[in-house]
């Protein structure tokens, strides 16, 4: 190619380069910025809506807690009313007038807002505020036979709605049989509240709502909903989008300024390239065409560079490539410390070490067993066995040269997950070859890689220990409540998806407080551990026994109907009843005997969702408690 032709070709290529540079700016900056803006705006909306849903759900938990408080107070008053002699005599006589009179007297003497007595579907007495709700229910028994069902409430709906609003900052509506009986919103009308979560319109304003239902008087159902105006979320979305828009605009301006600066810099480089090319075209071969990088400009310049510098250039490239290889190996070594697959990690480090030091083979072993072996057929037994023996004996990196065999080894320690044995030697990584000994540089590189692998192995053990502790109750060894809730949610979703049944058993150790009060908390811990052993032994591998809280345990039973859940509960109950536990610190004392009460429920026989299933099993458990303890009751 002539000098004139070369200069013309160079100008054409530079012009094309400028055009492509502008096109790349559009494709790499402007188009992605538009796409990112759309995605960010959408993510902001989804995030704010998700936060709003979570916020309303959290406030719903507060409303549920207040409901349980009200029902608990009502239950204590119901227990007192159930023991009233005058009411008992009226019930035995089945004198409706005396029953109602006794109920009115008790209404005045207690904090009850409403008292209802009924039997076999007939209402014998209903006194108090008709808006009172969240009753506690007790079955009254005389001479071993049920004589009446007593329902007592200490909370009227409007007071409860105000309490929820004060505690959560959200509006509250209480409905009975689909009709509002209390509300913190004026002119509420008859809103269409969602069963669980969703949106509704009240007075022309959109609200985000979370609801739960509870039993009311005489078989009625009460629905409670907490509501947040959706306008609040819309304002948050607008503010978030405004902030994101300002930030993205700043990034765009920054990219534009950077593009201008880079473009001017490239133009200066191009002008310098053209000037050097003109000097070459004029015959001045002392000028060197710039050859930065490996693009087309560098290729055009290389055509006119002298062959005398090519050898040195190749040597420089080889040296740079070696340096990059070592740096890459060191980066690989640094990634070992974050890898959590022990076997895969050790296989990678052995292969990398063999390649890095030009070994003929290598292996990693822990606890006396090989985990991975590379090139075992060429293993010089004398040198490899000697170096591994030194590592296991001394616990330090070692090398051995025996006859024509050469080997390196690095120890692997048990790490923090082993507790007091953290510094114990758990295994080693070794490499070997026949013929040429390992150089000092090769030994140093091998021990660096093996040291990183050793750190990673320790991290694996620590990670496994942390994961196990995160989902396990320390005292009983059962799953903790967090794991129980995760399993319940997953199994309920699986049950709904595949149409299978799901059982749940909840148990509470009877009179556990008296054990702690009489014998101390260590004795109580022993009781919990022994009951947990029985629950674990009675469960299948696919079941999830857990400590639900305090002395209350639970077990999730995939693929189990209500009858199967009841049968498992009975097996565990009989096992607990047969326990004979020694009294700690008193070898002569009679063994301690304990019992437990059980509630069994199943999906879909007892409930339709997670919350309903837990509530059904919990209610059956408390029915077992009220019925005399040491028994199992199934939710229907």
Residues 6+ apart with CB under 8 A from 606: 562, 612, 613, 616, 617, 634, 635, 636
State both tokens at 217.
């008087």
Output the 3-class SS for 276-293.
Answer: HHHHHHCCCCCCCCCCCC
Calpha distance 306→299 (Å, rounded):
13
At 139, which helix (H) or strand (E)?
strand 136-142
| Positive/negative CA dihedral, 16, 17, 18, 21 | positive
- Tokens 């807690």 locate to 65
Calpha distance 230→579 (Å, rounded):
56
At 421, which helix (H) or strand (E)?
none
Give strand pairing partners of 211. 225
Cis peptide before 519 (omega within 30 of 0): no
**Rounded to the nearest 10 degrees, what angle do helices 512-519 and 521-538 cross at?**
140
Burial of 242 (0-12, 13-18, 19+ CB in 10 A): exposed
- Tokens 């509240």 locate to 193
User: SS3 for 598?
Assistant: strand
Calpha distance 565→121 (Å, rounded):
30
Residue 406: closest CA among 439, 377, 428, 376: 439
493 is annotated as an active-site residue: no
| Burial profile 92-126: b = 16 or more Cβ within 10 angstroms, e = fewer | eeeeeebbbbbbeebbeebebbbbbbbbeeeebbb
User: SS3 for 424?
Assistant: coil
Report DSSP state, residue 609: S
User: SS3 for 379?
Assistant: coil
Calpha distance 362→383 (Å, rounded):
12
Report DSSP state, residue 473: -
Calpha distance 459→470 (Å, rounded):
16
User: Of these residues, 442, 491, 551, 619, which one is catalytic?
Assistant: 551
- What are residue 63's phi and psi, to 5 degrees? -60, -40
| Burial profile 327-337: b = 16 or more Cβ within 10 angstroms, e = fewer | eebeeebeebb
- Tokens 């009446």 locate to 148
State both tokens at 232.
């609040």
Provide the annotated active-site residues.
551
């Amino acid at each position: 190619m002539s000098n004139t032709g070369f200069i013309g070709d160079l100008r054409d290529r530079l012009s094309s380069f400028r055009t492509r540079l502008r096109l790349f700016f559009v494709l790499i900056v402007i188009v992605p910025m538009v796409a990112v803006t759309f995605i960010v705006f959408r993510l902001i909306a989804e995030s704010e809506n998700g936060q709003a849903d979570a916020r309303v759900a959290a406030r719903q938990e507060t409303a549920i807690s207040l409901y349980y408080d009200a029902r608990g107070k009502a239950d204590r008053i119901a227990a007192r009313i159930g023991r009233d002699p005058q009411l008992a005599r009226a019930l035995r006589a089945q004198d409706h007038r005396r029953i109602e009179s006794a109920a009115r007297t008790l209404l005045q003497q207690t904090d009850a807002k409403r008292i209802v007595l009924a039997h076999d579907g007939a209402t014998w007495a209903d006194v108090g505020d008709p808006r009172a709700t969240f009753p506690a229910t007790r079955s009254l028994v005389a001479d071993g036979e049920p004589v009446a069902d007593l329902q007592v409430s200490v909370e009227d709906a409007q007071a409860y709605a105000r309490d929820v609003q004060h505690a959560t900052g959200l509006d509250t509506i209480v409905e009975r049989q689909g009709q509002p009986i209390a509300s913190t919103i004026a002119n509420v009308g008859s809103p269409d509240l969602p069963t669980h979560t969703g949106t509704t319109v009240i007075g022309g304003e959109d609200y985000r709502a979370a609801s739960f239902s509870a039993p009311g008087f005489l078989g009625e159902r009460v629905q409670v909903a907490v509501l947040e105006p959706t306008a609040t979320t819309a304002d948050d979305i607008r503010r978030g989008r405004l902030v994101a828009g300002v930030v993205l605009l700043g990034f765009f301006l920054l990219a534009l300024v950077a593009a201008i600066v880079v473009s001017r810099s490239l133009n200066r480089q191009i002008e310098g390239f053209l000037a050097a090319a003109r000097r070459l075209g004029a015959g001045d071969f002392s000028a060197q065409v710039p050859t930065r990088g490996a693009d087309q400009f560098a290729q055009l310049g290389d055509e006119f560079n002298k062959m005398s510098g090519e050898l040195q250039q190749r040597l420089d490239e080889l040296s740079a490539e070696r340096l990059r290889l070592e740096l890459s190996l060191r980066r690989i070594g640094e990634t070992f410390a974050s890898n959590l697959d022990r076997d895969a990690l050790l296989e990678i480090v052995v292969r990398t070490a063999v390649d890095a030091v030009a070994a003929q083979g290598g292996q990693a072993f822990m606890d006396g067993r090989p985990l991975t072996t590379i090139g075992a057929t060429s293993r010089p037994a004398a040198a490899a066995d000697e170096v591994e023996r030194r590592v296991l004996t001394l616990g330090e990196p070692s090398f051995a040269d025996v006859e024509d065999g050469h080997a390196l080894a690095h120890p692997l320690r048990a790490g923090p997950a082993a507790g007091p044995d953290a510094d114990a030697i758990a295994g080693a990584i070794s490499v070997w070859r026949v013929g040429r000994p390992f150089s000092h540089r090769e030994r140093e590189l091998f021990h660096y890689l093996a040291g990183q692998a050793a750190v990673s192995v320790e991290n694996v053990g620590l990670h496994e220990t942390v994961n196990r502790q995160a989902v396990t109750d320390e005292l009983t060894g059962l799953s903790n409540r967090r794991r129980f809730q995760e399993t319940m949610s997953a199994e309920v979703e699986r049950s709904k998806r595949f149409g299978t049944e799901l059982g749940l058993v909840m148990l509470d150790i009877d009179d556990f407080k008296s054990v702690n009060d009489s014998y101390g908390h260590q004795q109580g811990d022993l009781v919990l551990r022994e009951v947990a052993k029985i629950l674990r032994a009675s469960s299948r591998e696919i079941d999830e026994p857990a400590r639900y809280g305090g002395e209350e345990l639970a077990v999730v039973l995939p693929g189990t109907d209500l009858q199967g859940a009841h049968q498992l509960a009975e097996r565990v109950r009989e096992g607990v009843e047969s326990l004979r536990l020694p009294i700690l610190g008193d070898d002569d004392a009679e063994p301690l005997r304990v019992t437990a009460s059980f509630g069994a429920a199943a999906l879909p026989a007892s409930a339709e969702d997670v919350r309903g299933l837990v509530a059904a099993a919990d209610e059956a458990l408390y029915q077992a408690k009220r019925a005399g303890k040491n028994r199992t009751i199934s939710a229907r």
